[in-house]
Structure 1
Amino acid sequence: MGALQLHVFYLILLPTITSQVISKQGEWKSATATYTKQADASIITEGACGYGDLHKASYGKYSAGLSTMLFNKGSTCGACFEVRCVDHILWCLQGSPSVILTATDFCLPNYGLSSDYGGWCNFPKEHFEMSEAAFVEIAEKKAEIVPVQYKRVKCERRGGMRFSMSGSAHFFQVLITNVGLDGEVVGVKVKGSKTGWLPMARNWGQN
């Protein structure tokens, strides 16, 4: 890691498609939702976005894994969604309250099961695997799966963006968290003290 200490890097985020994403806010779309059980009713384990302890990343209590269709190979990591339970008189809470979620994980498809029973995250289904704490704010806990509506919303973050560097003598890796606005990172360039701006590539999740 000595190489990390010898170089000064400048990072710039490229909001290439931010305006396109923001323009879609306010449009409710249909999906389904389940929840994952954790000891404290929230998602705390590291997910496919690479955030590590989600409570330390401030995403823990209101977070969700996304199906293949929504996850978009990790580019949706950090995005915020407003979700509400609809059209189910037995399981949806009265008044259809909504909750704001952050995309932190990938919901694996299970093609051994029907997309209508067990294979909730099979392509091209749009599905949210929510934290238990978030799910019970919109639906009855005993519900197995509920119909929902969702829309993209701006992420309310505090403290500014965070850059966590790791790697070795052979490569550098940067984890970017706490991103506001639409929450996504669509492009990054890095500049060394003796180089021009060089494009970085997504390794996995938000790394």
Structure 2
Amino acid sequence: MKKSHVLLLLLVQVIVLLPLLCLSDDFVSSRATYYGSPDCKGNSQYEFYLGACGYGEFGRYINDGEVSGVSSRLWKNGAGCGACYQVRCKIPPHCNEEGVYVVATDYGEGDGTDFIFSPKAYGRMARAGPEFQLYSFGVVDVEYQRVPCRYGGYNLVYKIHEKSYNPHYLAVLILYVGGVNDILAVEFWQEDCKEWKRMRRAFGAVHDYQNPPRGTLSLRFLVYGSAGLNWVESQNALPADWTAGATYNSNILLS
């Protein structure tokens, strides 16, 4: 066969394969259920005081209450807190095609499930009309994929946890992490030692340190995502007079 014919054949094969590649996805098969909640939103008392991620009331209302507790393999000892997923149930004709977009705000699993939804998120997987029938199943087969988180108007955001007490105890709660990224570690710069000090992951998305340095603090975050493993720094992240409950929008934009 002539070389030109071989090249033409390869080109035809590529043209045929491209649509198939574009149609492929990375959905993973699993199961999902839901927990009871008086207002159908996330339950701040579910599984752990203020939730295993530490979000508290914030975890009830983020993403309009369409949230989920996730299994240990998705929770990742807290690094998976705040991750976003598209989840579709697989019980035709009860389920819609798009499924639901949820934010992981807690830890929870059982009966082979990767997701324990708020009632509102669970019902969002149904076609218009048969939501109550979907609830009656209790546990359903699903498929899911991780998708980018998008928080319009926010960079990486962190909050001083309510248990913090300046200057003796500092706990930082990471709230918004854009894109498909996990925060693996948090460190602060200690000027007198000229070195970065690692904070402890207390639980979920909360990192803490006893007796931190006084004065303005710079923070850096170890981020694992589509760009690989990288440290990103927020200079002067916390003012010297930081107070419990205060929230700070950093100069770090993750996408």
TM-score normalised according to structure 2 size = 0.59
The structure carrying a bigger helix percent of its residues is 2
CA distance in 1 between partners of 2:113 and 2:189 (Å): 38
- Report the equivalent of 2:115: 128
Q: Equivalent of 1:161, from 145, 156, 160?
A: 156
Give the deviation of 1:171 after TM superposition: 3.0
Q: Deviations over 1:45-100 (max 9, x none)?
A: 131000110367624511100122322211111111110001x236x32x433111
Q: How does 1:24-103 map to 2 (within 5 A)?
A: 26-45=25-44, 46-54=50-58, 58-59=62-63, 61-86=65-90, 88-89=91-92, 92-93=94-95, 95-103=96-104
**Match in the other structure for 1:202:** 201
Does structure 1 residue 180 correspond to structure 2 residue 178? yes
Identity %: 29
Structure 1 residue 107 displacement after superposition: 0.8
Assess if the C-alpha contact under 8 Å between 1:74 and 1:206 holds in 2.
yes
Q: How far did residue 126 of structure 1 move?
A: 4.6
Work out the CA distance in 2 between the residues paired with 1:66 and 1:56. 15
- Answer yes or no: is 1:152 the counterpart of 2:156: no
Aligned in 2, Cα 1:126/1:143: closer, same or farther, shift over 3 Å? closer
CA distance in 2 between counterparts of 1:72 and 1:38 reads 25
Deviation of 1:149 (Å)? 0.2
- Classify 1:54/1:44 alpha carbon distance in 2 versus 1 (closer, same or farther; 3 Å): farther
- 1:136-159 Cα offsets, whole Å, 9 max, x none, are 111322221100000011001122
**Partners of 2:43 and 2:60 within 8 A in 1:** no
Deviation at 1:173, TM superposition (A): 1.1
Aligned equivalents of 1:203 and 1:59: distance in 2?
A: 25
* 3-state secondary structure, aligned to 2:136: coil
Counterpart amino acid of 1:78? G
Q: CA RMSD in A?
A: 2.2
Amino acid at match of 1:136: G
The Cα offsets for residues 109-166 of structure 1, whole Å up to 9 and x where unpaired, read as xxxxxxxxxx42xxxx452000111111113222211000000110011222222224
**Does the 8 A contact of 2:42 with 2:60 survive in 1?**
no
The answer on whether the counterparts of 2:42 and 2:61 sit within 8 Å (CA) in structure 1 is no
| Higher fraction of strand | 2
Shift of 1:27: 0.9
Query: Cα 1:183–1:53, aligned 2, differ >3 Å: closer, same or farther?
Result: farther
Amino acid at match of 1:164: K
**Which of structures 1 and 2 has the larger relative contact order (alpha carbons within 8 angstroms, sep 6+)?**
1
**CA distance, structure 2, for counterparts of residue 68 and residue 55 of structure 1:** 18
Stretches of structure 1 lacking an aligned partner (at least 5 in a row):
1-25, 109-118
Larger radius of gyration: 2
Between Structure 1 and Structure 2, how many residues are aligned?
Answer: 165
